[in-house]
Amino acid sequence: MQDLFSIAGKVALVTGGSRGIGLMIARGYVEAGAKVYVSSRKAEACEQVARELSARGVCAALPADCSTEAGCRGLAEALAAREPALHVLVNNAGANWGAPLAEYPDAAWDKVLALNVKAVFHLTRACLPQLEAAARPGDPARVINVGSIDGLQAPVLETYAYSSSKAAVHHLTRVLAHRLAPKITVNAVAPGPFESKMMAETLRKFRDTIVASCPLGRIGEPEDMAGVAIYLASRAGAYLTGAVIPVDGGISTRHG
């Protein structure tokens, strides 16, 4: 039982790992003994986070733009040049776009779907050789997709492309789980409100309302996200695939 939640020695790649949910997961993995590669579009931010986390464990930067198929392939190739096997892929990189219905632009759909949905598909596919190389009987490789409770229920704000994209991520998770078993498990986490740059404006306007609507009565903390990500990457989560886990203090139980 001592090793049930251990991820020591595993190699993980976290996209969008320089801030927000991705950084929470990357930090948790590093502190739990995994070798973590953080990726984001901004190389400087990526390098800064890698330096910071290297003081706590093993972390390196792999900057990439995952909004294109070529960018995803390039990231997978950069990882393959450094590691023969990838135990955990966290597809977290994402974008949001809010605007009133009458003004919601077509460009929002292109940008948000490219990064939030297509990148999950392209990067997972590009990393398959390294994921398959990491798989062992009883200990499959893991893909963890970051969805959102906005993909489970109608969102408060007018983020049409974002909420639709996260619902797509949840279903793509199920489809890939079916296709990639038994060597690779594919699960999604659906975060509720956490302190992040993407959530900053929403929390500024609606913090009290959100806290009041949450059965557990608070905003999510980094340990909450790190905990579920470690569970999914460890032996404890080895028999789970195709699941979408709300990490939202119970908010979606009222609206889902």
**Phi and psi at residue 104, to the nearest 5°:** -65, 120
Give one word for 48, left, alpha or beta, with left for phi > 0 and alpha for psi -120 to 50. Answer: alpha
Point out the catalytic residue in the list 29, 37, 160, 162. Answer: 162
Residues in the chain: 256
Residue 159: partners with Cβ closer than 8 Å, 6 or more residues away: 96, 97, 98, 150
Sole residue written with tokens 């909420």:
163
Q: State yes or no: is 160 an active-site residue.
A: no
Residue 196, pLDDT score: 77
Assigned token pair, 232: 């999914």
Domains of the chain from N-terminus onward: 11-255 (3.40.50.720)
Per residue of the chain (256 residues), what is the pLDDT tens digit?
789 999 999 999 999 999 999 999 999 999 999 999 999 999 999 999 999 999 999 999 999 999 999 999 999 999 999 999 999 999 999 999 999 999 999 999 999 999 999 999 999 999 999 999 999 999 999 999 999 999 999 988 899 999 999 999 999 999 999 999 999 999 999 999 998 777 777 788 888 888 998 999 999 999 999 999 999 999 999 999 999 999 999 999 976 4
* Structure token pair of residue 209: 């309302």
CA dihedral 14, 19, 20, 21 (to 10 degrees): 10
Closest CA to 150 of 161, 163, 169: 163
3-state helix vs strand vs coil in the chain, percent to 5: 50, 15, 35
* Whether the Cβ atoms of residue 12 and residue 233 lie closer than 8 Å to each other: yes
